[in-house]
Structure 1
Amino acid sequence: MESKSGEGKVVCVTGASGFIASWLVKLLLQRGYIVNATVRNLNLDNENLIILLLLTTFLKIKPPYKGQVDLGEAAAEAGKRTEPAPESEAPTVTDPSPVCEIAATPEPPAFAEAAEAAPSSPTLASRSDEFEDMFSGTPPATGEAAGFGHLPIPRATRAASQTSECGARDGLSMMIVNEAFVHAQQEVDDLKGQLDAQSRETEKFLHLLRAKEDELNQAITLSNLRPELDAAKAENRQLKEDTSKVAHLLGLDGPNERLHLFKAELLEEQSFDAAIDGCEGVFHTASPVSLTAKSKEELVDPAVKGTLNVLHSCAKSPSVRRVVVTASTSSVIFNKNMSTPGAVADETWYSDPEFCEERKQWYQLSKTLAEEAAWKFAKENGIDLVTLHPGLVIGPLLQPTLNFSCEAVVNFITQGKEAWSGGIYRFVDVRDVANAHILAFEVPSANGRYCLVAVNGYSSLVLKIVQKLYPSITFPENFEDGLPLTPHFQVSSERAKCLGVKFTSLELSVKDTVESLMEKNFLHI
């Protein structure tokens, strides 16, 4: 039976749409946690949401039930308006769904029931005192005749028919009945035609709305309404509208009740306050990953400032009892000792910022400085901090995008291209990394740093497993098959095992990674 250790507890996961974080959110939800998840973009610039806001709040436009609205004039008129439309003028909209749909429908005319027969020259106006409920849609209560199409026969016609059946014996009565019937049928046809025309006008109206979006936005800007629109959009930050980067999160078990999305930016102060407020635990996974950055500022600023922004928000919330930061082996092993044959790195090792800077290893520098800043802030502010240091994280993808580490696997297989010089990797499964985060939060004795490495090896280890799974595969010419099984430099995970982390075999991790990459069309074998 699956553990529900998080029942009723609220935690926050930053960068929730990422590779590791997506799995972390999945496992947290499975354990019963309530998860506040931050993402960079909730895609709130939803076309229909904007249109509806414009219609109902700013432009005072009503759907064209009785004719076409000129949007050029409406946009120009928007510059003259500073007050929102009265509630009575706003159309009723039930749902800003991807297909912009006006919920209100035209109100059909009412008719008073005729006593005996209809006048000889009926019109829509004159009928208003003679018929009622022509379009009521209510089935006859006592077996009366069916209507034309989806509309009931006018009661005047039924009344006239009943009069005839009760004893009208002359031709005049029958003529009156027939005339009433003909006129009523004509009115039904005319009104149905009007409704069809109005429906077509509505479609044209919506089409023009989309075509005029830029013009409308310009009108809003010129009329100083942009701040009001931005404020309205900000109120919807927890809406689950992003259909690309967060859709996979919304498909997990339990998101409707226990997953709450927040927009947050690493470099924006107080951006994480709302998401972290009231949480017991915070998992900070958000950080840029790139080995091709051209300057240290490109990676160092988001990594360091983003970590401090998250920790500042944690310090403000008295409910936070532990913070788990996703660091990296990059902040452990990059120093002069890594070239020592037979060396085994562990949690007591620290990367040297000068060593990284001399070699322009900006990603390694960013992770090193971010971890240093985190420990310094945590000590000064009494925050219970744990840092996790995974190697090259592989495994099945939940997110729709190709992350750096899984792209490295694709490059191994298709190009024989190494992710970095030396070709020594510290492989670990993403599911084990996500589980280690939860253990680091739940285990009371957890503290300090934990290296997460299942296997130390060369890329050739991965390729041999792939070759066994797919014997017909052809590898690039630069594939090296004669490398030693154990590299001269390794990272130990003994401390993580003491925490309770159990590592997936490399064979299963590679198999699941390759199958996932193929399923998502990132790899073709």
Structure 2
Amino acid sequence: MAPSFDTTTHTVCVMDASGHLGFSIVQRLLQRGYTVHASLQKHGKEDMFNGISTDSNKLKLFRSDPFDYPSIIEALRGCSGLFYTFEPPHDQPNHDEYMADVEVRAAHNVLEACAQTETIDKVVFTSSATAVVWREDRKTMELDLDERHWSDVNFCRKFKLWHGVSKTMAEKSAWALAMDRGVNMVSINAGLLMTHDLSIKHPYLRGAAEMYEDGVFVTVDLPFLVDAHICVYEEVSSYGRYLCFNHIINTHEDAVQLAQKLTPDAASSSSTSSSSSSPESGDLGKGFIEQKISNKKLNKLMVNFEA
């Protein structure tokens, strides 16, 4: 981070602030002295923000729907930056073949609003590692996967990897609009976020066994992901995409521990029923899987970041 960066002079918007990541980013920004516009979708809960700021002037709540353009503009007014993470609408909670259209429209609206907001200097766009890892040639590549690679949407559609479809299409749409409209944007391609309520139904986990076998099944802890977002915002030299993870599932023990977290009921029963209940605990092998994905670009940027 550049020594001259004064967080107390920055007003930034976090959208959607009601999810695990958004809420944690709001907390950390307030701790660092920012003024924050916390933008919640209509199903968000305002009371979750009670008491998180000792200065009432530092936090302002907004009700913004990513499909309601004026509400986005209102939340961005006066802000120098945006942290954008997509949360599925409450009436469409699951990723399916139609979610890509929903997520693309939301990203387009938000980036267009940023282009129309003269005070916006940088957008941090939360994407996913699933927009990187799903490729036909992933098993034969000589080099590790990194942020230079994109998932193949047709490949994802073929195997019903809807999370990969949505994240890839939405991020590509955001990049296209950002470059066309001159919006300064960086993206964070995050691994599977390890939250306390993570379940086996999470759409990221479709194809988990294949990711494991390919050495690209990565996860990220919430504090590390929050730090990464703030680091790429504050660092003036940040650019492009950043793969973000701080753990890789590449041993049998890792796979079993994750399977037990995802299916606690199965874990307490017999090992046979546990195996049949969780695809992650199936025929994954018992050796060490070579890591084939790299986050060196982000790690280099974060070396001097003061969390």
User: What TM-score do the two structures reach when normalised by structure 2?
Assistant: 0.80
Mapped pair 1:493 → 2:279: no
After superposition, give the CA deviation of every residue in 1:349-371 in whole Å (9 maximum; x if it has no partner): 11111111222222211111111
Counterparts in 2 of 1:265-304, with a 5 A limit?
Answer: 265-288=65-88, 293-294=95-96, 296-297=97-98, 299-304=99-104
Check conservation: 2:134, 2:164, Cα contact below 8 A.
yes
Check conservation: 2:81, 2:121, Cα contact below 8 A.
yes
1:308 equivalent among 97, 108, 111? 108
After superposition, give the CA deviation of every residue in 1:345-394 in whole Å (9 maximum; x if it has no partner): 10111111111122222221111111111111111111111000011111
Give the corresponding residue for 1:130.
none
Give the corresponding residue for 2:263.
none
Give the corresponding residue for 1:436.
228
Counterparts of 2:298 and 2:156 in 1: how far apart (Å)? 26
**Residues 501 and 355 from structure 1, CA distance in 2 versus in 1: closer, same or farther, beyond 3 angstroms?**
farther
Check conservation: 1:266, 1:302, Cα contact below 8 A.
no
Give the corresponding residue for 1:204.
none
Greater C-alpha radius of gyration: 1
**Residues 14 and 270 from structure 1, CA distance in 2 versus in 1: closer, same or farther, beyond 3 angstroms?**
same
Gaps of 5+ in 1: 43-241, 413-417, 468-472, 504-525
Matched to 2:7, the amino acid is G
Check conservation: 1:378, 1:385, Cα contact below 8 A.
yes
Check conservation: 1:34, 1:259, Cα contact below 8 A.
yes
Give the corresponding residue for 1:96.
none
Counterparts of 1:499 and 1:380 in 2: how far apart (Å)? 26
Give the corresponding residue for 1:117.
none
| DSSP 3-state at the match of 1:336 | coil
Structure with more strand by fraction: 2
**Residues 320 and 485 from structure 1, CA distance in 2 versus in 1: closer, same or farther, beyond 3 angstroms?**
farther
Q: CA deviation at 1:250?
A: 2.3
Mapped pair 1:259 → 2:45: no
| DSSP 3-state at the match of 2:70 | coil
**Residues 272 and 292 from structure 1, CA distance in 2 versus in 1: closer, same or farther, beyond 3 angstroms?**
closer
**Residues 320 and 343 from structure 1, CA distance in 2 versus in 1: closer, same or farther, beyond 3 angstroms?**
same
Give the corresponding residue for 2:247.
455
Counterparts of 2:304 and 2:47 in 1: how far apart (Å)? 29
Q: CA deviation at 1:502?
A: 9.1
- Give percent identity, aligned residues only: 27
Check conservation: 2:53, 2:59, Cα contact below 8 A.
no
Counterparts of 2:153 and 2:167 in 1: how far apart (Å)? 10
Q: CA deviation at 1:429?
A: 0.7
| DSSP 3-state at the match of 2:29 | helix
Q: CA deviation at 1:343?
A: 5.9
Counterparts in 2 of 1:95-494, with a 5 A limit?
Answer: 245-254=45-54, 256-288=56-88, 293-294=95-96, 296-297=97-98, 299-340=99-140, 344-395=144-195, 402=197, 406-408=198-200, 419-423=205-209, 424=212, 425-457=217-249, 460-461=253-254, 463-464=256-257, 474=268, 476-477=270-271, 478-479=274-275, 480=281, 483-484=285-286, 486-488=288-290, 490-494=292-296
| DSSP 3-state at the match of 1:427 | strand
Gaps of 5+ in 2: 261-266, 276-280
Q: CA deviation at 1:327?
A: 0.5
| DSSP 3-state at the match of 2:147 | coil
* Alignment: residue pair count: 278
Q: CA deviation at 1:464?
A: 4.5
Matched to 1:337, the amino acid is D
**Residues 466 and 279 from structure 1, CA distance in 2 versus in 1: closer, same or farther, beyond 3 angstroms?**
same
After superposition, give the CA deviation of every residue in 1:182-224 in whole Å (9 maximum; x if it has no partner): xxxxxxxxxxxxxxxxxxxxxxxxxxxxxxxxxxxxxxxxxxx
Question: RMSD value over aligned CA atoms?
Answer: 3.2
User: What TM-score do the two structures reach when normalised by structure 1?
Assistant: 0.48
**Residues 490 and 254 from structure 1, CA distance in 2 versus in 1: closer, same or farther, beyond 3 angstroms?**
farther
Q: CA deviation at 1:489?
A: 5.4
Please identify, of 24-33 and 487-496, the stretch whose mean Cα deviation from structure 2 is larger: 487-496
Q: CA deviation at 1:331?
A: 0.8
Check conservation: 2:224, 2:246, Cα contact below 8 A.
no
Counterparts of 1:466 and 1:335 in 2: how far apart (Å)? 25
Give the corresponding residue for 1:116.
none
**Residues 390 and 475 from structure 1, CA distance in 2 versus in 1: closer, same or farther, beyond 3 angstroms?**
farther
Counterparts of 1:375 and 1:341 in 2: how far apart (Å)? 25
| DSSP 3-state at the match of 1:7 | helix
Q: CA deviation at 1:485?
A: 5.4
Q: CA deviation at 1:318?
A: 1.0
Counterparts of 2:161 and 2:179 in 1: how far apart (Å)? 27
Q: CA deviation at 1:283?
A: 0.7
